[in-house]
Amino acid sequence: MILTELKPGDKGKITDVSKVTALVQSRLLDFGVLEGKEVCYKYALPFGGPCMLEACGQCIGIRRKEAMCIQVEQS
Amino acid sequence: MEVALFGNPNTGKTSLFNILTGSYEYVGNWSGVTVEKKVGILKESAGRLIDLPGIYSLNPLSKDEGIATQFLLNESFSVALNIVDASQLERNLHLTIQLLEFGKPVVIGLNMIDVAKSRGIHIDEKALGKKLGASVIPIVARTGKKCQFLSKQLTPREEDAEPLHIDYGEKVEESIDQLVSLMPEDVRLNKRWLSLQFLEGNKVVRENLTSLIDKEQLNKICTELESQIIIEKDTKSIKQYLYAKRQQFISEVVAESVEKGQTSGRTFTQTIDAVVTNKFLGIPIFLLLMFLVFTLTFNWLGTPLSDGLDAFISGPLTDWLKAGLTNVHATPFIQSVILDGIVAGVGGVLVFVPQIFILFFFISLIEDSGYMARVAMVMDRVMESVGLNGKAFIPLIIGFGCNVPGIMAARTIEQPKERLLTTLLTPLMSCSARLSVYSLFVAAFFEKHQALIVLSLYVLGIIVALVLAKIFTFFIKSEGSVFVIELPPYRIPQARTLLRSTWDKGKGFVRKAGTFIFGGTVAIWFLSYAGPHGFDVPIDESFMAVICGYIAPLLAPIGFGTWQAAGALVTGFLAKEVVVSTMNVLYFVPDGQTLTGIISHFYTPLQAYSFMVFILLYVPCLSTVAVIQKEAGSKKWTAFSIGYALVVAYLLSLVVYQGGQWLGLH
């Protein structure tokens, strides 16, 4: 399933981030967010706005279309 | 001795810099406050501390991050001071490893141990230091705890440290050996480090290496390794592979030096975030906060203070000076230059110091608290619709203080085209200098609705910027906008840091009053004192009136076709505050009265609003033009930034004035 299909507040384990834009992928790697890490989907802002994730002890904001490229496994 | 300060963004790097150097530097709580390398003198030992922009890795993604890597390649230093966030240890150690691989002595300041403890993380700094081969000192940079001790560790070393050596596996090591053997003997930098950074895809290092090694050979080694690694190691890129290897090393280090306990439930940050980045309330809360800031700045605090200062300067101060000048038998010429030129001009600007400092105080508060990153997040959707990203909103807000640092802050934007757009649009943000013009006009014409009228101008600036961004993106094709931001935990700003930060931003305004505005007003006074028929002519026959009389007719359709208004606009290019000083000189304020009192005879409220709209948009000031030239690196774009602003300002003022008249306003 994709990250945005998680219910807000639910956690999942990342299985694939390779479809995300290269630049965002690099930055996520800097944050330590990559395959195998647990991520909590916090919420998305309205009108297709960005969404907030919590991973590796930090909060990260990314656009929804990027979040929709992240595959997760519900945990 | 030179000490270079490295660390991830939001780890308290700039706070540590302030404590160690005793001098003040700008502190903020969002990625990219340090947009240039800054230098301070160390208190404890003889040496200089160089503050570099916050980076997650030595492989840069944005222009400001590149500065740190450039520094390593081109500058010499004795010790690297690496500040590490104890509550985010694993992520921070990726940078530490790259620094240790570089081979210069590294001292690690383990910051925020208090935060880490409250999250149940206990770090054995001795074990950590031993595993890494560097001294680790736990500190709390916000309170200064143990920082003096850390400072004493910063001593010059006889020899460079033994670089950290991680085994990256057979394939990578082979490629490193190949690269090292290709490099000439006299390379000053650590060859293994250069090779590793190159393989990781570091653009700055790559550029450096292409001057030493044939490009074809470099590419060949890189692609060969990539294809081997992807097949054999089940990974997506060399970068990710190296990351995994480092992570493995970090996990070993952490296993032996860190103990993790139970964490408490919902944190302070989560509670606030539930409100300020709330789905529906996020934008309204932001607007409400901005309105509150403006009401405080104008209606509640700033205006009474400014009025008091104004009354003092135009009343007692002028009388004392006059009496003093008469006593020393100063000539009428000297009396005129001091009283009508300097006191009227410089004093006219200084009266706005209270309002400007209050506004700077609130901007500092927003920066230091961590709310800035949330604003970027909340505004991203709006910015995306005009081809920018939420981060571009930060330079715009900083631009409210002064456009110059605003434009510099645009460096944190990753995509070059988005950065250029932000640079071009930041001058539309109403800076504090323009505030002095509004303050003058709203006090004279819109006494009851001061905050609302001023806020309308700020909002107009933002709207014009957004509309133009949309138009410009048709011509400047973007590579596709991206947005990814770290939302740092909220921190209650410390009073001392806030006050210093406010002063640091505001002192430029005071300094300008003593230099630019001083010189400018003396020149303007002279041009209004002298005319084609000699000195001390009636002001209507002065050079100023004659020269600006040619421009005035052009301004008639937008409501202020007088030579005084034209004169104020022309001189306003030096600095926007000069508009106020020029008016003080040109409208020749009689004794005991203020410009606010008499200006209402020269404009109608509609003309005044049209004038304010024109002032908001018409051209970036001289210092802003200089920084646009530097950041955009092109005369064409600089000329464009001036040209489009003039056209837009004229059109909008025309709409306001003619439209207002049509509606029956005056």
Mean pLDDT of successive 10-residue stretches along chain A, which has 75 residues: 91 92 92 91 86 88 94 89
Q: Put residue B32 in one of left, alpha, beta given phi > 0 → left and psi -120 to 50 → alpha.
A: left
Asked if the C-beta of B414 comes within 8 angstroms of chain A's C-beta atoms, the answer is yes
| Whether pLDDT at B225 is above 80 | yes
CATH 1.10.287.1770 maps onto chain B at 170-260
Mean pLDDT of chain B: 86
Contacts A–B by Cβ distance under 8 A: 100
Report DSSP letters for B56-96, one per residue: SSSS-SSHHHHHHHHHHHH---SEEEEEEEGGGHHHHHHHH
Task: Write down the pLDDT at residue B188.
Answer: 86
Task: Write down the pLDDT at residue B108.
Answer: 95
The complex scores an ipTM of: 0.93
CATH architecture of B2-152: 3-Layer(aba) Sandwich (3.40)
Which CATH code fits B170-260? Answer: 1.10.287.1770
Rounded to a whole number, what is the distance in Å from the CA of B485 to chain A's nearest CA?
Answer: 5
Asked if the C-beta of B513 comes within 8 angstroms of chain A's C-beta atoms, the answer is no
Q: What is the rounded CA–CA span in Å between residue B602 and residue B605? A: 10
Task: Give buried/exposed letters for B72-88 (b at 16+ CB in 10 A, else e).
Answer: bbeeebbbbbbbbbbbb
In chain B, % of residues over pLDDT 90: 37
End-to-end CA, chain B:
66
Nearest Cβ partner of B381 from A49, A56, A58? A49
| Whether pLDDT at B298 is above 80 | no
Rounded to a whole number, what is the distance in Å from the CA of A62 to chain B's nearest CA?
Answer: 5
Report DSSP letters for B280-330, one per residue: TTHHHHHHHHHHHHHHIIIIITHHHHHHHHHHHIIIIIHHHHHHHHHHTT-
Summarize the annotated binding site of B for Mg(2+) as residue ranges. Answer: 18, 21-22
Q: What is the rounded CA–CA span in Å between residue B7 and residue B303? A: 42
Summarize the annotated binding site of B for GTP as residue ranges. Answer: 7-14, 32-36, 51-54, 111-114
Rounded to a whole number, what is the distance in Å from the CA of B381 to chain A's nearest CA?
Answer: 5
Which domain, by its residues, includes A49? 3-74
Nearest Cβ partner of A45 from B94, B282, B485? B282
Summarize the annotated binding site of B as residue ranges. Answer: 7-14, 18, 21-22, 32-36, 51-54, 111-114
Region B524-546: what's the mean pLDDT?
A: 86
**pLDDT (tens digit per residue) in B401-460:** 778 878 888 887 888 888 899 999 999 999 888 988 998 899 899 988 888 899 899 999
Asked if the C-beta of B91 comes within 8 angstroms of chain A's C-beta atoms, the answer is yes
Q: Which of B484, B486, B487, B491 to mutate to test the interface with A (most CBs of A within 10 A)?
A: B484
Q: What is the rounded CA–CA span in Å between residue B284 and residue B233? A: 50
Q: Put residue B173 in one of left, alpha, beta given phi > 0 → left and psi -120 to 50 → alpha.
A: alpha
**pLDDT (tens digit per residue) in B477-512:** 767 788 999 988 888 887 877 887 788 777 777 877
Tokens, residue A39: 């991520």
In chain B, % of residues over pLDDT 70: 95
Task: Write down the pLDDT at residue B147.
Answer: 87
Decide if B384 and A63 are in contact by the 8 Å CB cutoff.
yes
- CB-based contacts of B193: which residues, under 8 Å, 6+ apart? B98, B101, B102, B103, B163
Alpha helix ranges (H) inside B136-237: 147-152, 170-182, 191-200, 203-210, 215-233
Task: Write down the pLDDT at residue B202.
Answer: 93
Burial of B228 (0-12, 13-18, 19+ CB in 10 A): middle
Task: Write down the pLDDT at residue B345.
Answer: 76
Region B381-399: what's the mean pLDDT?
A: 88
Region B262-280: what's the mean pLDDT?
A: 70
CATH 3.40.50.300 maps onto chain B at 2-152
Task: Write down the pLDDT at residue B476.
Answer: 79
Which chain A positions have a beta carbon within 8 Å of B279's beta carbon?
43-46
Q: What is the CATH number for A28? A: 2.30.30.90
Label residue B622 by pLDDT band (50, 70, 90). confident
Label residue B473 by pLDDT band (50, 70, 90). confident
| Whether pLDDT at B94 is above 70 | yes
